[in-house]
Copies of this chain bind each other. A is one copy, B any other.
Amino acid sequence: MARAYHHGALAEAMVEEALAAVREHGADHVSLRAIAQALDVSPSAAYNHFADKDALLVAVGQCGLAALDERMARVLAAHPGDSDDAARARFAGLGRAYIAFAVDEPNLFRLVFGPICAEADMGPESWTGPYAKLVGALDELNDREMLVVGARDGLDVTVWGATHGIASLIIEGYLPREAGDALVDSMGRLALR
């Protein structure tokens, strides 16, 4: 039975539908009314679950952030081990995963790091997932004395910035896809010894 909301899961259904719409058309170009119609529900029904359209988009953004975090977690899982090579692979893989997420889901990426989600801080605790993974990888390299001497200072911010910037510039068409791999290589050459 499709008409199961009403003490059902309208909120989740709307997030799901909105997520699909954002992925396809971008956060701008998504209309509350269209989402409601797709769910055979009146437009105003949304307001029982979300303060406004932006609140729904923030919920979508949290899904997107979780997806990014999962990609990065998978990379860590795919390169276990205590060796220098494994540490290097984890570091490079995290960067590649971040960029791959942006390339695969540009509209989601834009929403997650755009003004709507940033303003409503989904908690520094949310994006702490990805960021903590990066810091962890860098600490590991540092502990293994694999970093150029004196490089650790500010390196987390630099690496995050470079990765984020390249990802943004790629999805806006200012740089070709290959720039992603080029960045990871370049970053490795600069920071690793």
- Nearest CB of chain B from residue A179's CB, rounded to whole Å: 5
Q: How far is the CB of A148 from chain B (nearest CB, A)?
A: 7
- CB–CB B151/A160 < 8 A: no
Tell whether A110 pairs with B115 under 8 Å between CB atoms, given A148-B190, A151-B190, A186-B153.
yes
Closest B residue to A112 using CB positions: B172
A154 on interface, CB distance cutoff 8 Å: yes
Within 8 A of B (CB), among A103-159: 110, 113-115, 118-119, 121, 127, 148, 150-151, 153-155, 157-158
User: How many copies of this chain?
Assistant: 2
B28/A173 in contact, CB under 8 A: no
CB contacts (< 8 Å) of A167 on chain B: these are 165
Contacts of A185 in B (CB 8 A): 154
State whether A183 touches B154 (Cβ < 8 A): yes
Q: Is A164 an interface residue (CB 8 A)?
A: yes
Contacts of A175 in B (CB 8 A): 157, 161
Known: A158-B187, A162-B158. A168 touches B113 (CB 8 A): yes
